[in-house]
């Protein structure tokens, strides 16, 4: 059984270890045990503070996830069965330096600010059934066109992942794809889901677009990919 100050790593099991509510592969993440909790006779949770090498490689998505649930990113509670003992690979306090850098990083700072704005907006909207209506009104009120973006969805006709587009208008929404925007690309005007665009401009006028995409991708990303509207279609 594990005890405080043991050096452990997540087992390299056939199936990836996933952070709860977030699909992050945590195999081989390593650190030191800081707490051990016996939840029941059969289940023990072990809190692991990640070492500097794990923190340096931590995915951007995990930082955003941690910011959203207001949890620290430098440690995580695993089931004991997911862990195994190993040898230290850095000095005991090296993790502090990397943690400080990540706390000051653009990714962490922006993620915390984004989720604060999102939480405030959802609180203002009130009812969960009205979220998309509320987002649409919010975007229409603050959007300033045009905005440069990169398409990050599946290929459609001759648009492709990485295509540079210009957002020209906020449109409506449906409950599968969320809010649609009008974009110009390669001489065509088409409609695409806003969450399929990565905003390429910095500034206060793009915060609302980034916030919506973050919220939608986390909450409502469709489980299937249907045909997108656009290129003169009447859908």
Structure confidence by residue, pLDDT tens digits, 222-232:
433 333 333 33
Structure confidence by residue, pLDDT tens digits, 49-70:
999 999 999 988 888 888 877 7
Structure confidence by residue, pLDDT tens digits, 171-182:
999 888 999 999
Place of tokens 């003992």: 85
pTM: 0.65
For residues 199 and 149, the answer to whether their CB atoms sit within 8 Å is: yes
For residues 170 and 127, the answer to whether their CB atoms sit within 8 Å is: no
Structure confidence by residue, pLDDT tens digits, 153-194:
888 777 899 999 999 999 999 888 999 999 999 888 999 999
For residues 190 and 181, the answer to whether their CB atoms sit within 8 Å is: no
């Amino acid at each position: 059984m594990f005890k405080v100050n043991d050096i452990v790593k997540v087992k390299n099991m056939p199936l990836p270890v996933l952070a709860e509510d977030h699909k992050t592969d945590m195999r081989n993440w390593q650190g030191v045990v800081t707490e051990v909790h016996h939840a029941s006779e059969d289940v023990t949770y072990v809190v692991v503070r990640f070492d500097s090498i794990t923190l340096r490689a931590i995915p951007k998505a995990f930082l955003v996830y941690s910011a959203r649930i207001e949890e620290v990113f430098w440690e995580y509670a695993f089931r004991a069965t997911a862990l195994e003992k190993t040898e230290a690979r850095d000095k005991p306090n090296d993790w502090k330096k990397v943690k400080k850098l990540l706390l000051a990083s653009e990714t962490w700072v922006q993620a915390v600010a984004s989720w604060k704005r999102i939480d405030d907006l959802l609180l203002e909207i009130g009812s969960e059934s009205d979220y998309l209506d509320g987002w649409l009104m919010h975007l229409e009120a603050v959007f300033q066109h045009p905005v440069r973006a990169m398409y990050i969805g599946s290929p459609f006709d001759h648009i492709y992942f990485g295509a540079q587009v210009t957002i020209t208008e906020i449109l409506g929404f449906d409950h599968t794809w969320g809010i649609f925007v009008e974009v110009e690309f390669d001489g065509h005007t088409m409609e695409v889901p806003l969450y399929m665009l990565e905003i390429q401009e910095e500034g206060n006028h793009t915060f609302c677009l980034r916030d919506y995409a973050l919220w939608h991708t986390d909450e409502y990303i469709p489980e299937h990919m249907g045909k997108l509207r656009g290129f003169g279609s009447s859908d």
